[in-house]
Amino acid sequence: MRKSVVPTARVAALKVLLQGSGREGFAQDLLDVALEDADLSSPDRRLATQLVYGTLRRRGAIDALLRQAIHRDPEKVEAWIWESLRLGVFQLLYLDQVPAYAAINETVELAQRLEMPRAKGFINGILRKVASWIAADRTDAPASNAVPLRDNQYRQLAEPRLPDPKRHPVDYLADAFSLPAWLAKRWLDRFGWDESVRLGFWFAEPAPIWLRVNTLKTDPDAMLGALSHAGVKAEPGRHPQSIRLLEPTPIRDLPGYADGMFVVQDESAMHLASALNPLPGTRVLDLCAAPGGKTTHLAELMKNEGEIIASDLDEFRLDLAMQSCERLGISIVSAHPMTPESTPPEGPFDGILVDVPCSNTGVLGRRAEARWRLKPSDIRRLVPQQTQLLTEACKRLKPGGLVVYSTCSIEPEENLAVVESVRKAFPEMRFDGEEASIPGKPSDGGYWARLRRK
């Protein structure tokens, strides 16, 4: 994309989607850079964010309609045109605040801004065709002419454009809820229709924003009071340090951000450091630390007394962890960058947290691009890596010490199966508890298990 293009919310969103389609990075990181480069107003920044994440989450349903509107293979359509059409259809289907004419006109205008006027007629024609299929009516039941919106509501289409959910339930789940077909089949076999639909609705919408109160500087009651005073609607969560925001709010504008009073972290992730619950003055290893949310939580629980070694392969995101420590007033963390050939820091440690790389199937709403990058073979590929990381942790644990193994996956092969496999190799490791978080009840999905060395 030309650097001379005047930045708008839709230009910024298109830039991120094009970069992400080339697997150049995570949507969140790409969006942060794009918004920093584009001098946008707060409303336009929010719109760009909504466009990026919404288009990624709903890509399957969008493409299902586009494939019927465009009589050529997607590979034969220029990437920027296809991504522009995705942006336009997302607005037509899901953004009630954007009138259809505005969604079409603003998307067509992208071609002019990119100095590609030859594509204006094509984009206009396709979007108008899709718009003619979309009805204003809503329904509460899945059907071949019903696109899932939110809260068990569906937008009706003027004619059937999706698979019949009764005759082809896997195909409907995949297209309507924008899931890879193999994952839709896997969940339908495991969970049944009703739970698969619930998961589809949960992952199609933005995940709620949770704050973890930094107990080194304040407490939840004081933080809730500060938010209320600033007019921000929030409520306490189940975890003692958690607060849930009830409406979208720019994080940096919240009271206490600059002073390190809180960090953004999903409530389910807060349970991981709490499961380890390290004591002040102990020596702790965070084996897969980046970008630092769990590392800083460990330090808070330790009252910033003792030693934490934060280790990770991603040096850039490990730097982000150290920046977070500085903002939160944490001084006991030291970074230990790794390479694929290096070994983890030497023990022994009193406690070790192993939040391993995983399939991300418990957080598909938060990591919007993950569902499109994940392949069936990835789970089989990840299990040996997960097993090796937990094995290395067990080798470095003091007698009586604890290790917590965790994922943000809801797939059994990555969770209890890995823990049981490692326990067979370490008979001195005693199973000491586990928890499986169910997506949407009330936050992200994931798993942790705690082992204690005799």
- What's the CA gap between 408 and 414, in Å, rounded? 9
pLDDT of residue 407: 98
Q: Which of 177, 19, 8 is nearest to 102 (CA)?
A: 8
Domain 9-134 CATH superfamily: NusB-like (1.10.940.10)
Residue 200 pLDDT grade (very low, low, confident, very high; cuts 50, 70, 90): very high
408 carries an active-site annotation: yes
- Residues 312, 285: contact at Cβ < 8 Å? no
φ, ψ at 215 (rounded to 5°):
-70, -5
- What's the CA gap between 330 and 302, in Å, rounded? 10
- What's the CA gap between 341 and 284, in Å, rounded? 22
Answer yes or no: CATH 3.40.30.10 is held by domain 268-453. Answer: no
pLDDT of residue 23: 62
φ, ψ at 191 (rounded to 5°):
-105, -20
Average pLDDT score over the chain: 94
Secondary structure (DSSP) of 127-175: HHHHHHHEEEEEESS--TTEEE-STT-EEEESS--S--TTT-HHHHHHH
Interior/surface letters 399-419, b for 16+ CB within 10 angstroms, e for the rest:
eebbbbbbbbbbbeebbeebb
Mean pLDDT, residues 63-81: 91
Mean pLDDT, residues 246-273: 94
User: Structural domain boundaries of the chain?
Assistant: 9-134, 163-206, 210-264, 268-453
User: 75 or 80: whose pLDDT is higher?
Assistant: 80
pLDDT per position as a tens digit, 141-196: 999 999 999 999 999 999 999 999 999 999 999 999 999 999 999 999 999 999 99
Q: Are strands 349-355 and 146-148 parallel, antiparallel or unpaired?
A: unpaired
pLDDT of residue 6: 62
Is the per-residue pLDDT at 3 higher than 70? no
Is the per-residue pLDDT at 24 higher than 80? no
- What's the CA gap between 67 and 433, in Å, rounded? 48
The CB density around residue 95, as the number of other CB atoms within 10 Å, is: 16
Is the per-residue pLDDT at 1 higher than 60? no
User: DSSP secondary-structure letter at 339?
Assistant: -
Burial group, residue 434, by CB count within 10 angstroms (0-12, 13-18, 19+): middle
Residue 37 pLDDT grade (very low, low, confident, very high; cuts 50, 70, 90): confident
pLDDT of residue 273: 98
Residue 250 pLDDT grade (very low, low, confident, very high; cuts 50, 70, 90): confident
User: 3 or 376: whose pLDDT is higher?
Assistant: 376
Q: In sequence order, what are the residues at sequence separation of 6 or more whose Cβ sits closer than 8 angstroms to the Cβ of residue 173?
A: 165, 179, 184, 187, 188, 196, 197, 200
**Going edge to edge, which strands form the sheet with 429-437?**
333-337, 307-312, 283-286, 349-355, 397-407, 446-453, 429-437
Rounded percentage of the chain residues whose pLDDT exceeds 90: 84
Catalytic residue among 325, 358, 394, 408: 408
Q: Domain 210-264's class?
A: alpha beta
pLDDT of residue 75: 84
Residue 448 pLDDT grade (very low, low, confident, very high; cuts 50, 70, 90): very high
pLDDT of residue 38: 84
Residue 372 pLDDT grade (very low, low, confident, very high; cuts 50, 70, 90): very high
pLDDT of residue 321: 95
pLDDT of residue 115: 86
Bond from prior residue into 348 cis (ω within 30 degrees of 0): yes
Mean pLDDT, residues 21-47: 83
Is the per-residue pLDDT at 304 higher than 90? yes
Q: Which of 374, 364, 286, 361 is nearest to 330 (CA)?
A: 286
pLDDT of residue 36: 85
Mean pLDDT, residues 360-389: 94
Rounded percentage of the chain residues whose pLDDT exceeds 70: 98
pLDDT of residue 91: 97
Mean pLDDT, residues 319-323: 95
Mean pLDDT, residues 359-381: 93
pLDDT of residue 186: 97
Q: Facing residues of 21 across strands? A: none
Three-state secondary structure call for residue 262? strand
pLDDT of residue 53: 95
Residue 5 pLDDT grade (very low, low, confident, very high; cuts 50, 70, 90): low
404 to 263, 313, 394: CA distances (angstroms)? 22, 19, 10
pLDDT of residue 4: 52
